[in-house]
Amino acid sequence: MPPSKSSFTYTLKPDQIIQLRELCLGRGFELKALDYGHFKGSKGKCSLSAYESGKVVIQGKEAREFIEFYFEPEILGEAQLGYEEIHHPEYFVDHFGVDEAGKGDFFGPLVIAGVAGTGDLVRGWIDAGLAESKRIADQRALDQAGDLEEELGAARYEVIAIGPKRYNELYRSFGNLNRLLAWGHAKVIQNLKIKNPAVNKALSDKFAHSSLIERELKKAEVEIDLDQQTKAERDPVVAAASILARAGFLKGLEKCSELCGVELPKGAGAPIPKAAAQVLDAGGQDLLRDVCKVHFKTFAEVTR
């Protein structure tokens, strides 16, 4: 992980954007026009961009000083930076964080990852600016995953990668994606609990009714205080798990591409049918089944 975070993102209301412009002018920032935004400004080793969406990005070696002494007290009205343990004490309690990648992708595996986090680990991740995997580029996710694996050691993380062939078998067995996901999340928690028996809390993104994972944990005789939240990736431990899951998915997608000789795209959008047709041309339905999730409607459309 990098030693210190130097880029910070906030979402402001329209009146706060106006206040920010006035603050920047008063502090001697040079302001310029910004495409699709209100303005951008710079002073010394601090720069910022205020977008029409309300998103504000503040970055540079002097960004932290500007935020702590001016932005937080005058714009936000509260101290946040460096006060995470006051605002979110739950982040720093030992717990498992679980997340998945690949469930919405036609090609490639489903990957579920879990991390056993501690207060010391979370403090380091916050200082380094660890972000949920959807907010960073592919190569960045791969690099951060390698750093996390080294930092955590084998006992503090678990990754279950379900390749397309096995995924299709499990999907037929479970009957729907949410039950399959619940089984996978529970399995990751079970494996982490075996390696970290003193940890008694787990947090997972809420993708369906809470009872699904709880039922699977009960089957596995795993006793743990499980919390399921929407946008659970705001928790740094879940964010770390999301990076491991994303990296596992990217590696699995690359293997699928090598298997069929076609560079397979992510997602389920416009490029997918063309790539699926190329796989069909290369090896027929059997090959396509080995690299995709067959319950997606794309499979039926390209094979009819």
Segment 38-52, tens digit of pLDDT: 999 999 999 999 999
At residue 30, the pLDDT reads 96
Average pLDDT, the chain: 92
Mean pLDDT of 28-39: 94
H-assigned helices in the chain: 14-26, 63-66, 84-87, 119-128, 138-152, 164-174, 177-195, 211-219, 236-260, 271-291, 297-303
What pTM was estimated for this model as a whole?
A: 0.78
CA distances from 37 to 48, 164, 275 (A): 11, 42, 36
Decide: 93 and 225 in contact? Cβ < 8 Å.
no
Mean pLDDT of 21-26: 94
Mean pLDDT of 74-83: 75
User: What is the full DSSP assignment across 168-218?
Assistant: HHHHHHHSSHHHHHHHHHHHHHHHHHHH-TT--EEEEE--S-THHHHHHHH
Report d(CA 239, CA 21) in Å as an integer.
32
Which residue would you say has higher pLDDT here, 81 or 168? 168
Residue 153 has pLDDT above 70, yes or no: yes
What is the DSSP pairing of strand 225-229 with strand 201-205? parallel
